[in-house]
């Protein structure tokens, strides 16, 4: 429920109402605005009815939130959220390009890849150290050693870093090395993991599960938000459909839809979304055109020798072209490249 107070209501009035909400067994939220204080009550809404808040002279209106996800919904917050990633803000008017290899392979590789990302205008460095591979025989990542290598590259090129976390017990260890967490498609509904990253203050890039509905994706975001971490970036990375020509079906309709329903920033992963190098640039432009707040792209100094996802990785020339081609689309969408 959203409880809008009258303009004359004071913070003390609000606190009184919040106390009643909490006593009724609901989670109280305090959201002071410029003109009015807005309160929230989360939980079993039948409990709220008994409070008769409408009868309070300081209450202007009591409205139910119609979506199953509450705190991440636009009903709860009309304006766009912005997430601080390094010294940049993601969401709200800028378009962020985060790039880097699928996996951190060695010192030379992550440094060369970071140099390419920096040189051509990327604002963040990606790289996996714990790789959730489909086959147990595929390269699984360098783990903590990889995080150390990425941290060096991140510092050397002043690029904040993001890496995938696959296990709740790794969160504290990984926090020392990286600026943001990625929760991958395979873990979107790993609720213990969502809660664990929700208890940190680091930005979380939450990727859509390969067969997750938009509602399930936003409910997964709600888990993180509900733990107190509001620094969430939603990522559309394609879903599994009957189509086999592309690795996944990149659901850009979901981007436009989520932007109407949630205040969280939304980015697109055209690399995993298509699985085909030649399609990464066109779909990056499409992402900008449909209102995304950025992209996360796989870049490798030499995709031919990449230990994972080489066929969808861009080399320096391709990445430079992507950045150049993106500009007019970002401009047309009313944004600026971060
Ligand atoms: C990745 O970003 O390297 C990755 C494994 O992505 P996803 O979880 O979207 O498959
Ligand atoms: Mn990958």
Lining ligand 1 with CB less than 6 A are 102, 128, 184-186, 207, 237, 269, 272
Q: How far is the CA of 142 from the centre of ligand 2 (A)?
A: 14
Say how far apart CA 256 and CA 190 lie, in whole Å: 25
pLDDT above 90 coverage of the chain, percent: 95
Q: Which residue has the higher pLDDT, 235 or 32?
A: 235
Distance, CA 184 to ligand 1 centroid (Å)? 5
pLDDT greater than 90 at residue 27: yes
How far is the centre of ligand 1, averaged over its atoms, from the C-alpha of 122 (Å)? 19
Instruction: Specify the residue with its C-alpha closest to ligand 1, atom 6.
Output: 184
Ligand 1 atom 9: the closest Cα is on which residue? 185
Whose CA is closest to atom 5 on ligand 1?
184
For residue range 63-98, list pLDDT tens digits in order: 999 999 999 999 999 999 999 999 999 999 999 999
In this model, does residue 129 exceed pLDDT 80?
A: yes
pLDDT of 320 > 80? The answer is yes
User: CATH for 83-337, among 3.20.20.70, 3.30.499.10, 3.40.50.620, 2.40.110.10?
Assistant: 3.20.20.70
DSSP state of 249: B
Q: What's the CA dihedral at 150, 152, 154, 156 to 10 degrees?
A: -150
The preferred substitution site among 126, 128, 300 for testing ligand 1, maximizing ligand atoms within 8 Å of CB, is: 128
Confidence of residue 121 (pLDDT cuts 50, 70, 90): very high
Residue 191, exposed/middle/buried by CB under 10 A (0-12, 13-18, 19+)?
middle
Separation CA 326–CA 328 (nearest Å): 6
**What are the residue boundaries of the structural domains of the chain, listed by start?**
2-63, 83-337
CATH classification code of 2-63: 3.30.70.1140
The alpha carbon of 269 and the centre of ligand 2 are apart by a number of angstroms equal to 10
**What's the pLDDT at 215?**
98
Question: What confidence score (pLDDT) does residue 46 get?
Answer: 81
* β-strand partners of 73: 262
45 pLDDT exceeds 80?
no
Q: What is the pLDDT, as a whole number, of residue 41?
A: 95
Average pLDDT of every residue of the chain = 96
H runs (alpha helix) in the chain: 11-23, 45-49, 107-119, 143-156, 171-175, 191-198, 214-226, 252-261, 270-274, 277-289, 316-332
Quick: pLDDT tens for 163-198: 999 999 999 999 999 999 999 999 999 999 999 999
Which among 272, 274, 275, 296 is the best mutation to test ligand 1's pocket, defined by most ligand atoms within 8 Å of the CB? 272
pLDDT at 276: 98
Q: Do domains 2-63 and 83-337 have the same CATH topology?
A: no
Tell me which DSSP letter residue 21 carries.
Answer: H
| pTM greater than 0.75 | yes
């Amino acid at each position: 429920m959203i409880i809008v107070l009258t303009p004359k209501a004071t913070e003390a009035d609000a606190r009184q109402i919040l106390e009643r909400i909490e006593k009724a067994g609901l989670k109280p939220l305090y959201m002071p605005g410029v003109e009015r204080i807005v309160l929230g009550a989360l939980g079993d809404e039948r409990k709220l009815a008994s409070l008769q808040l409408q009868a309070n002279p300081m209450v202007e209106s009591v409205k139910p939130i119609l979506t199953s996800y509450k705190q991440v919904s636009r009903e709860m917050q009309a304006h766009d959220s912005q997430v601080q990633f390094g010294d940049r803000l993601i969401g709200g008017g800028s378009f962020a390009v985060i790039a880097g290899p699928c996996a951190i392979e060695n010192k030379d590789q992550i440094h060369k890849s970071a140099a390419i990302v920096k040189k051509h205008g990327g604002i963040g460095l990606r790289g996996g150290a714990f790789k959730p591979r489909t086959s147990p025989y595929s390269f699984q990542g360098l783990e903590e050693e990889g995080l150390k290598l990425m941290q060096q590259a991140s510092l050397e090129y002043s690029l904040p870093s993001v890496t995938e976390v696959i296990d709740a017990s790794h969160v504290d260890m990984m926090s020392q090395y990286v600026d943001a967490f990625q929760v991958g498609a395979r873990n979107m509904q790993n609720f213990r993991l969502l809660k664990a990253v929700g208890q940190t203050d680091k930005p979380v890039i939450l990727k859509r599960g390969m067969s997750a509905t938009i509602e399930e994706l936003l409910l997964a975001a709600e888990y993180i938000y509900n733990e107190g971490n509001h620094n969430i970036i939603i990522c559309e990375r394609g879903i599994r459909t009957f189509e086999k020509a592309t690795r996944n079906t990149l659901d850009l309709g979901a981007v436009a839809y989520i932007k109407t329903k949630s205040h969280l920033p939304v980015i697109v992963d055209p690399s995993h979304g298509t699985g085909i190098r030649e399609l990464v640039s066109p779909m990056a432009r499409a992402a900008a055109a449909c209102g995304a707040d950025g992209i996360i792209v796989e870049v490798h100094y030499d995709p031919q020798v990449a230990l994972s996802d080489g066929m969808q990785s861009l080399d320096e020339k391709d990445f430079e072209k992507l950045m150049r081609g993106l500009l007019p689309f970002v401009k047309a969408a009313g944004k600026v490249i971060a």
